[in-house]
Amino acid sequence: MTALATEGRKHNSLKGQVSEAEWDTRVALAAGCRICHHFGWNNSIRNHFTARVPDEPDKFLMNPRGLTWSEITASDFLKVDFNGKCYTESPYIPGPAGLSFHGAVLEANPDRHCSIHLHETDSVVVSSLKDGLMFTSQDALILYNQIGYHDFEGLAEEAEEGPRIARELGKNMAMIMWNHGILVAGHSIYEGFYYLHRLIEACQLQVKFLSTGREVREVPREVCEHTYNQFQKRYSSGKLKLGKDDWDAYVRMVDRIDPSYRL
């Protein structure tokens, strides 16, 4: 086992001090951060990967400000409520934007258990294009009719902006925050990550398409509808869980790279 990611800072594990359900959620969130860092989606101390505490649904876990996603561990996540009260002793603080709109999204949607916000480079590029996301690839079509948009209002730290973001997300699973970045939600952590992955890949492909300088061929509306319905049908029986097989594979990947996120 390597300790490279946590080397150089004191670390006290919360394992055994919180419920099993909360600990499992903490481990999954830490894995998600490490996966995102591995793919180069976030190299800073900013952005948020959050999830509702399963046995305390009025509280959620979020990564603190001050730790990169390459070093964060399960014990580092802060437990907070929808009023911004923190229940985890830590030298780190919750980011005000994370408290504002992730709390609003989870509070407004009791069936959503995960919310992720990133400033991944190509996603920010697409958020700054007048037409937003173009449906030009199969990766984009699972998000057809699932994208909300929110105007840029500043740093998203104001309490009153959170409910607006939640309303504009609505029942969609993803949002492009104009001139800012992206936000996704999920009924589980692995589902939220799946939508995040699909949205980022769609943005990356769009940027590459546009960089050719050639006219982009968009998928006809009726084919978009048909493909989206195919995706929905595939998972409607409940036998397959959206994103679960992808998630398990990526968790195995970060376990091979550095399992210290489990501390």
Looking at residue 104, its pLDDT comes to: 93
CATH superfamily to which 4-252 belongs: Class II aldolase/adducin N-terminal domain (3.40.225.10)
Contact 76, 64 (CB under 8 A): yes
Taking CA 28 as the corner, what is the angle to CA 87 and CA 56, rounded to the nearest 5 degrees? 40
Looking at residue 205, its pLDDT comes to: 94
* Sheet with strand 174-177: strands edge to edge: 78-81, 56-62, 48-53, 114-118, 181-186, 174-177, 147-150
For the chain, give every domain's residue range.
4-252
Looking at residue 3, its pLDDT comes to: 47
Distance of CA 181 to the CA centre of its chain: 11
Pick out the chain residues at pLDDT < 70: 1-10, 156-157
pLDDT digits (tens, 9 = 90+) for 28-42: 999 999 999 999 999
Can you give the pTM of this predicted structure? Answer: 0.92
| Mean pLDDT over each residue of the chain, to the nearest integer | 91
Looking at residue 162, its pLDDT comes to: 87
pLDDT digits (tens, 9 = 90+) for 101-159: 899 999 999 999 999 999 999 999 999 999 999 998 887 898 998 999 999 987 766 77
Looking at residue 5, its pLDDT comes to: 64
